[in-house]
């Protein structure tokens, strides 16, 4: 059965195959294509509108696909037959908060707490959710979310202190305290209870995982209650530590202007969105991406202008390898947002991930022309050029990036390392060597720089002892890095130490069995020690792993005619994993 094209008309009942449509929906769910899954499930509902499992699956697929209004309608149907359905009641509570129906929200939340996590819900939102630890983690987040949403609904009913009391009665793990202080402070600040708000927000600032968001809330409170100058002095160290963060930069700029800043959250709707955004981040960090996706979709539905929810949802789509959806969200960030620059850069990175490198390059070049000091954008451009084998261009791009540094520091080594790779690939070895040496000057124990420079020397037959020593040091620093172990084995090979080469290359293959370069190297080493049959096997395996075209041609010649037909004499391609370590 073909997947529907965008905008495809719904088929007639006679055209729907129950078994085929169900299987297509299940396949789309496994592939995490929620919009397609919802399409097929809605077709199934035409045939069996009372099937509770299909209704539930359609509700969840609609929610994950961003069709929140449709999910709410289906939640209404579910609670008619299952009064305490946990997730349906949770959705209806969120809808009630959005509508300002706070008592209805609290009623739904009380029923959500009493209901179990339904098997279908758990399966769809986390198909791999098997361990007791994972289920406990989901339950802890659910308890926190229902309590915080109830607290915001209570504030909406006109009882902010009662809402805070709800929060304070909740007992749980240490990380609960971070959310409890933040949301208690936000409720008190929104209610105008200045002193109590300040105490709770100050406590929230001390919780590291919520630092930027909590600091934003406390800074806003301080600008109205302590004065901008006093608040700025309090956070000067924070400003120094996180000055590269666009939100921190915006926050401090606002403080310096002397203008009082409004509360971070002003309404129960914004407060509920903040709950869902924050806990969505917790779920994402626990590897529960689909649960996180549900929370973030609800956060955006409640507060479409939330400054970070759309960015977080886009980042989640990046993590789930769905660049098209990430691109759409990054493009939606308004020009007035302090996050717009970061969104533009990440949009381009996702265009490249979607195999639209030309548009990614145009997008970054246009952004850099308008923002020539945006170091992150320039570095992103260099990475894409490097990945696309535009080596001369990427060397020039990294030169621009290095030119923006006031003084190169220890943290600047990746720029010199990356430029060195681009120079080496564009056959400009003197410049490449200088870059690698500068990177080591800034960070003498950086294993990837040690590996790249050491191998380059050995491969060229210069500085042999020093080069081999560098590779050995890199391997000692990263004993489980297959790419570095491969370099050590290949260095031994180039030095004619074939038995040592075999030993190291066998270790490398164990760690990276699907790398065509390593398998090719091991085949060469086997040939040199007389293990011809095994050499042929390794070359055949390397051939099947889809190496670069120039390497494939040499591998095929070795399979047909033996190593003597193609004696390796060039630096093997550097793996993407090595480049990523410079990011």
Tell me the per-residue pLDDT of 434-487, one tens digit each, with 9 for 90 and over.
999 999 999 999 999 999 999 999 989 899 999 999 999 999 999 999 999 999
Closest Cα to residue 277, out of 244, 301, 246, 251?
A: 301
pLDDT tens, position by position, 529-567: 999 999 999 999 999 999 999 899 999 999 999 998 877
Any idea which fold 321-442 has? 1.25.40
Q: Is the pLDDT of residue 257 over 70?
A: yes
Cα–Cα dist 362/142, whole Å: 44
Domain regions of the chain by residue span: 13-125, 132-303, 321-442, 447-580
Closest Cα to residue 434, out of 479, 387, 395?
A: 395
Q: Is the pLDDT of residue 5 over 50?
A: no
Looking at the chain, the whole-number percentage of residues with pLDDT higher than 70 is: 87
353 phi/psi in degrees, rounded to 5: -65, -30
Cα–Cα dist 146/276, whole Å: 10
Q: What confidence category does residue 255 fall into, taking pLDDT thresholds of 50, 70 and 90?
A: confident
For the residues 18-29, what does the mean pLDDT come to? Answer: 69
Cβ proximity of 176 and 141 under 8 Å:
no
Cβ proximity of 385 and 397 under 8 Å:
yes
Q: Is the pLDDT of residue 8 over 50?
A: no
Q: Is the pLDDT of residue 15 over 80?
A: no
**SS3 letters for 113-147?**
HHCCCCHHHHHHHCCCCCCHHHHHHHHHHHHHHHH
Q: Is the pLDDT of residue 79 over 60?
A: yes
Q: What confidence category does residue 2 fall into, taking pLDDT thresholds of 50, 70 and 90?
A: very low
Angle at 417 between CA 405 and CA 491, to 5 degrees: 165
Q: What confidence category does residue 508 fall into, taking pLDDT thresholds of 50, 70 and 90?
A: very high
Q: Is the pLDDT of residue 579 over 50?
A: no
Between 447 and 580, the higher pLDDT residue:
447
For the residues 202-206, what does the mean pLDDT come to? Answer: 90
Quote the DSSP letter at residue 158.
T
Q: Among 23-27, 277-281, 373-377, which is the least confidently predicted range?
A: 23-27
Residue 580, Cβ neighbours under 10 Å: how many?
Answer: 11
- What pLDDT is stored for residue 114 in this prediction? 63
Q: Among 30-39, 199-208, 447-456, which is the least confidently predicted range?
A: 30-39
Burial 59-71 (b: 16+ CB within 10 A, else e): bbbbbbbbbbebb
* Tokens (6 digits) for 86: 């946990």
Q: What confidence category does residue 253 fall into, taking pLDDT thresholds of 50, 70 and 90?
A: confident
Cα–Cα dist 87/295, whole Å: 11
Cα–Cα dist 175/164, whole Å: 17
Return mean pLDDT, the chain. Answer: 88
Cα–Cα dist 351/385, whole Å: 13
Secondary structure element (H or E) that encloses residue 9, with its range: none
For the residues 194-223, what does the mean pLDDT come to? Answer: 88
Between 133 and 413, the higher pLDDT residue:
413
pLDDT tens, position by position, 337-390: 999 999 999 999 999 999 999 999 999 999 999 999 999 999 999 999 999 999
* Tokens (6 digits) for 68: 């929140």
What is the residue-wise DSSP string for 213-242?
A: HHHHHHHHHHHHHT-HHHHHHHTHHHHHHT
Q: Is the pLDDT of residue 9 over 70?
A: no
Q: The CATH number of 132-303 is which of 1.25.40, 1.10.8, 1.20.1250, 1.20.120?
A: 1.25.40
- What pLDDT is stored for residue 485 in this prediction? 97
What is the residue-wise DSSP string for 491-514?
A: HHHHTT-HHHHHHHHHHHHHH-TT
* Tokens (6 digits) for 178: 């971070």
Cα–Cα dist 553/65, whole Å: 45
For the residues 145-174, what does the mean pLDDT come to? Answer: 96
Between 5 and 210, the higher pLDDT residue:
210
Between 250 and 148, the higher pLDDT residue:
148
For the residues 565-570, what does the mean pLDDT come to? Answer: 63
Any idea which fold 13-125 has? 1.25.40
Report the greatest alpha carbon distance in the chain: 85
Q: Is 321-442 the same fold as 13-125?
A: yes
- What pLDDT is stored for residue 19 in this prediction? 67
Between 579 and 219, the higher pLDDT residue:
219
Residue with tokens 């990036």: 401
Closest Cα to residue 65, out of 89, 42, 95, 84?
A: 42
Closest Cα to residue 62, out of 84, 82, 78, 48?
A: 78
Q: Among 38-52, 66-80, 400-414, 460-474, which is the least confidently predicted range?
A: 38-52
Q: What is the dihedral of CA 310, 311, 314, 318, to 10 degrees?
A: -170
CATH superfamily placement of domain 447-580: Tetratricopeptide repeat domain (1.25.40.10)
- What pLDDT is stored for residue 415 in this prediction? 98
Residue with tokens 């004499």: 569
The pTM of the full predicted model, rounded to 2 decimals, is: 0.83
Burial class (CB in 10 A: 0-12, 13-18, 19+), 169: exposed
Q: Is the pLDDT of residue 109 over 50?
A: yes
- Listed as own residue / partner, the contacts of 494-497 with beta carbons closer than 8 Å and 24 or more positions apart are 494/458, 494/459, 494/461, 495/458, 495/464, 495/468
- What pLDDT is stored for residue 528 in this prediction? 95
* Tokens (6 digits) for 565: 């037909």
Q: Among 60-69, 364-373, 388-397, which is the least confidently predicted range?
A: 60-69
Angle at 346 between CA 344 and CA 347, to 5 degrees: 60
Cα–Cα dist 344/354, whole Å: 15
């Amino acid at each position: 059965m073909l997947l529907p094209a965008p905008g495809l008309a719904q088929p007639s009942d006679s055209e729907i195959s129950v078994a085929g449509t169900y299987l297509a929906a299940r396949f789309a769910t496994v592939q995490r294509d929620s919009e397609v899954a919802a399409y097929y499930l809605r077709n199934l509902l035409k045939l069996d509108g009372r099937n509770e499992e299909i209704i539930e699956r359609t509700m969840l697929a609609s929610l994950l696909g961003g069709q929140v209004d449709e999910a709410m309608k289906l939640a209404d149907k579910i609670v008619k037959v299952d009064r305490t359905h946990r997730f349906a009641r949770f959705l209806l509570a969120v809808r009630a908060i959005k509508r300002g129906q706070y008592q209805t929200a609290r009623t739904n939340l009380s029923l959500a707490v009493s209901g179990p996590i339904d098997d279908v819900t758990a399966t769809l939102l986390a198909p791999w959710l098997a361990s007791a630890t994972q289920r406990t983690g989901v339950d802890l987040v659910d308890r926190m979310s229902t309590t915080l949403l109830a607290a915001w609904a209570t504030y909406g009913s006109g009882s902010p202190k009662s809402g805070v009391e709800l929060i304070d009665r909740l007992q749980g793990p240490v990380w609960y305290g971070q959310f409890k202080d933040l949301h208690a402070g936000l409720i008190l600040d929104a209610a105008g209870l200045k002193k109590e708000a300040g105490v709770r927000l100050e406590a929230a600032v001390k919780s590291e995982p919520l630092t930027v968001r909590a600091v934003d809330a406390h800074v806003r409170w301080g600008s109205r209650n302590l004065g901008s100058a006093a608040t700025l002095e309090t956070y000067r160290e924070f400003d120094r530590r996180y000055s590269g963060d666009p939100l921190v930069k915006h926050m401090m700029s606002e403080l310096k202007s002397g203008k009082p800043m409004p509360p971070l959250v002003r309404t129960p709707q914004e407060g509920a969105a903040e709950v869902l955004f924050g806990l969505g981040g917790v779920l994402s960090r626990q590897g529960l991406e689909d649960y996180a996706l549900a929370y973030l979709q609800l956060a955006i539905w409640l507060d479409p202008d939330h400054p970070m929810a759309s960015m977080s949802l886009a980042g989640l789509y990046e993590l789930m390898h769905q660049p098209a959806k990430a691109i759409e969200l990054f493009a939606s960030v308004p020009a007035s947002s302090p996050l717009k620059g970061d969104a533009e850069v990440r949009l381009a990175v996702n265009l490249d991930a979607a195999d639209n490198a030309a548009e990614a390059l145009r997008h970054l070049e246009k952004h850099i022309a308008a923002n020539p000091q945006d170091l992150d954008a320039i570095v992103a451009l260099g990475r894409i050029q490097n990945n696309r084998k535009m080596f001369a261009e990427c060397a020039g791009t990294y030169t621009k990036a290095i030119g923006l540094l006031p003084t190169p520091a220890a943290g600047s080594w990746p720029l010199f390392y990356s430029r060195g790779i681009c120079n080496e690939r564009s056959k400009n070895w003197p410049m490449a060597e200088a870059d690698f040496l500068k990177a080591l000057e800034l960070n003498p124990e950086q294993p990837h720089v040690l590996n790249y420079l050491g191998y380059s020397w050995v491969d060229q037959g210069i500085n042999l002892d020093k080069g081999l020593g560098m590779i050995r040091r890199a391997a000692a620093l990263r004993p489980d890095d297959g790419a570095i172990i491969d370099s050590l084995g290949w260095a031994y090979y180039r030095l004619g130490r074939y038995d040592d080469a075999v030993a190291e290359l066998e270790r490398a293959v164990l760690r990276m069995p699907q790398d065509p370069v390593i398998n090719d190297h091991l085949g060469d080493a086997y040939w040199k020690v007389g293990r011809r049959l095994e050499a042929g096997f390794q070359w055949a395996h390397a051939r099947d792993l889809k190496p670069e075209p120039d390497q494939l041609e040499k591998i095929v010649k070795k399979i047909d005619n033996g190593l003597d037909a193609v004696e390796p004499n060039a630096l093997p391609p550097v793996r993407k994993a090595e480049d990523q370590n410079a990011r």
